[in-house]
Amino acid sequence: MAFPIKDTSTIRADDGPVTVKGWVQDIRNLGGISFLIVRDRHGTVQVTAPKKKVDAEVFARLASLPRESAVSISGEVKPSDQTELGLELIPQALEVLSEAATPLPLGVVDKVNVEFDTRLNNRPMDLRRPEVRTVFELKSLLRHLLDEAMAVEGFTEIHTPKIVASGAEGGATLFEVGYFGRSSYLAQSPQLYKQMVMSSGLDRVYEIAPAFRAEKSNTVRHVSEFLSFDGEMAWIDSQRDIMDVMERVMQHTIAGIKDKGARQLELLEKEVELPKAPYPVLTYSQCLDMLNSEGMELAEGEDLGTEGERLIGELMSDKGNDMYWIMEYPAEEKPFYIMEKEGTPYSHSFDLDYRGQEISSGGQREHRYDVLLKRMEDKGLDPVSFNDYLEAFRYGMPPHGGWGIGVERLLVKMLDLGNIREAILFPRDMHRLAP
Ligand code: AMO
């Protein structure tokens, strides 16, 4: 019988021979007896090899194994009051599945502080550490919870092209790629496509897919490739309709992480709080006043900035609000597809902030063809290069709006990870293209 180590609690000492497959995390040779700690994705088990009781060849091989070798060990389970599991394995047979080279590029259990770059350079070994790897189990759970929540809201999952002819989020962050002698770009977001679909009758759609940004900023929250969770819905009365859906989706997801991710959260020693709902709403102008009364000197129309966002986060947390909206940013700051708030310099936009950081932006879109064309021109864009997009607005485009959520930013805030790269298996940024 082979058992994953997580199931050791169900193994009794009289269960007969068992097989454990895993990595040799540690070996202690005390002459007459050797102790091995074998680890799989679930945990560790102690293999106790008394020289007198174990086959000589098996003993010699066990005692000389390099750490992190992949092995399969069969033997008898015995009760033990010396081990955490209350049992140990007395080996009878050993198969070395893959011997580890020495020295290891990175210690797996050593408590030595290693530079993050060294960890990323040796990512597969880095991921052998349970606390590093577990984040990705939670990311996978998060992904499923989003699907679940979107199904309840009646959304259809779509897949839009990632090789595109024009950018939607400004020229500065476009990655150009050759395309059969023409130039094309990696999609910065599914923005233009999810909007085009709004003219089709698929009136509630979402996509969870990579988005690419040639971000020249080297920060803990920017990467060149991230997972974007986008939603778009039609026939809305205002952006409030979108925000209501988002709130329910966020609450479902965070509650699900707390509940279904309890084992992983315990391993990470993290507690996730369910944000207080409904999320409070601040306007951009209110934020400006709040920040300026805290000693910042922001002019009307100016971006709140990382520091401003952080400070608002602190002020909101003091009132017990982890998640909150910031609405009505200046229209000038927002992309061409966002609807202006008529007669004001503001827009029908929102950001969703989570403890001092923007995790999402969105808003109501400009669905009126002529107004959209004018907004594009005002922003110095050439409508000709958006021809296919604009066509979808000419034959009856319903009022619509949506959002884009950075999945890793959401996870980083939920788990308080400190760097977005902790939530990406193989991160891409200005300086990193490998592994
Ligand atoms: P925006 O450009 O604000 O909006 O992006 C939406 C969300 O995506 C995440 N994000 C990033 N995460 C990591 N690294 C990056 N370089 C990065 N850039 C963005 C953030 C951000 O809030 N089309 C609109 C959304 C919409 O209106 O529907 C858009 O892309 O969490």
Domain of 418: which CATH number?
3.30.930.10
11: confidence class by pLDDT, cuts 50, 70, 90: low
Sign of CA dihedral 95, 100, 102, 106: negative
Residue 47 above 90 pLDDT?
yes
- Percent of the chain exceeding pLDDT 90 equals 90
Report the range of poorest mean pLDDT among 5-9, 93-97, 344-348: 5-9
The three-class DSSP label of residue 278 is coil
Same domain, 160 and 236: yes
Residue 9 pLDDT > 70: no
End-to-end CA distance of the chain: 37
User: Within 10 Å of residue 362's Cβ, how many Cβ atoms?
Assistant: 23
- Asked whether residue 114 carries a pLDDT value surpassing 50, the answer given is yes
**Among candidate residues 47, 82, 98, the one where a domain is terminated:** 98
The two tokens of residue 298 are 């922001």
pLDDT greater than 80 at residue 14:
no
Looking at the domain assignment, is residue 107 inside a domain? no
Question: Tell me, what's the pLDDT at 287?
Answer: 98
Q: What whole-number distance in Å separates Cα of residue 59 and Cα of residue 358?
A: 57
Q: Are the C-beta atoms of 141 and 256 separated by less than 8 Å?
A: yes
Give the chain's mean pLDDT.
94
Residues 334 and 398 in one domain: yes
Q: How far is the CA of 270 from the centre of ligand 1 (A)?
A: 26
Answer yes or no: do 90 and 151 share one domain.
Answer: no
92 shares its domain with 152: no
Q: What domain count does the chain have?
A: 2
Tokens of residue 405, six digits? 């959520």
- Distance CA(402)–CA(203), nearest Å, equals 11
Q: For the segment 396-407, what is each residue's pLDDT rounded down to a tens digit?
A: 999 999 999 999
pLDDT at 212 over 50: yes
Q: Does residue 54 sit within a domain?
A: yes
Is 268 found in the same domain as 176? yes
CA 408 to chain centre: 3
DSSP letter at 227 equals E
Please report the atom of ligand 1 found closest to the CA of residue 228: 8
Q: What residues act catalytically?
A: 213, 215, 221-222, 358, 361, 409
**370 — alpha (psi -120 to 50), left (phi > 0) or beta?**
alpha
- CB of 404 sitting under 6 A from ligand 1: yes
- Give me the pLDDT at residue 13, please: 61
Residues in the chain: 435
Are residues 190 and 160 in contact, defined by beta-carbon separation less than 8 angstroms? yes
Same domain, 251 and 318: yes
Segment 274-278 long-range contacts (CB within 8 Å, at least 24 positions apart): 275/250, 275/251, 275/321, 275/322, 275/323, 275/354, 276/320, 276/321, 276/322, 276/323, 277/247, 277/251, 277/323, 278/247
- Please say whether the beta carbons of 165 and 198 come within 8 A: no
56: CATH:
2.40.50.140
DSSP state of 352: E
Q: Which atom of ligand 1 is nearest to the CA of 191?
A: 23
Same domain, 226 and 83: no
Closest CA to 408 of 135, 147, 186, 172: 135
156 lies in some domain:
yes
- Kindly state if the Cβ of 62 falls inside 6 Å of ligand 1: no
Same domain, 285 and 143: yes
Which of 98, 115, 139 is the endpoint of a domain?
A: 98
Q: How far apart are CA 171 and CA 167, in angstroms?
A: 7
Last residue of a domain, one of 82, 98, 114: 98
Question: Where in the sequence is the domain holding 244, given as residue range(s)?
Answer: 124-423
Domain match, 248 and 364 both: yes
Residue 417 backbone dihedrals phi, psi, to 5 degrees: -90, -20
Look at residue 109 in the predicted model and tell me its pLDDT.
Answer: 87
Task: Report pLDDT for 306.
Answer: 95
| 321-379 pLDDT tens trace | 999 999 999 999 999 999 999 999 999 999 999 999 999 999 999 999 999 999 999 99
> 264 and 141 share a domain?
yes
In the predicted structure, residue 4 carries a pLDDT above the cut 90 = no
Supply the residue whose CA is at minimum distance from atom 16 of ligand 1.
222
Q: Do both 58 and 134 map to the same domain? A: no
Same structural domain, 292 and 383: yes
Percentage of the chain beyond pLDDT 70 is 97
Name the token pair of 259: 């509940």
Element (H, E) at 373: helix 369-378
Residue 73 within any structural domain of the chain: yes
For 19, the enclosing helix (H) or strand (E) is: strand 17-29
Please indicate whether residue 401, judged by its CB atom, sits closer than 6 Å to ligand 1: no
Distance in angstroms (rounded) separating the CA atoms of residues 142 and 352: 18
Does ligand 1 lie within 6 Å of residue 409's CB atom? yes
Token pair, residue 276, equals 């207080």
- pLDDT higher than 60, residue 6: no
> Does residue 299 sit within a domain?
yes
In this prediction, residue 2 carries a pLDDT of 47
C-alpha of residue 19 to centroid of ligand 1, in Å: 48
Look at residue 1 in the predicted model and tell me its pLDDT: 41
| 249 lies in some domain | yes
Check pocket membership of 169 for ligand 1, CB cut-off 6 A: yes
CA atoms of 367 and 199, how far apart (whole Å)? 10
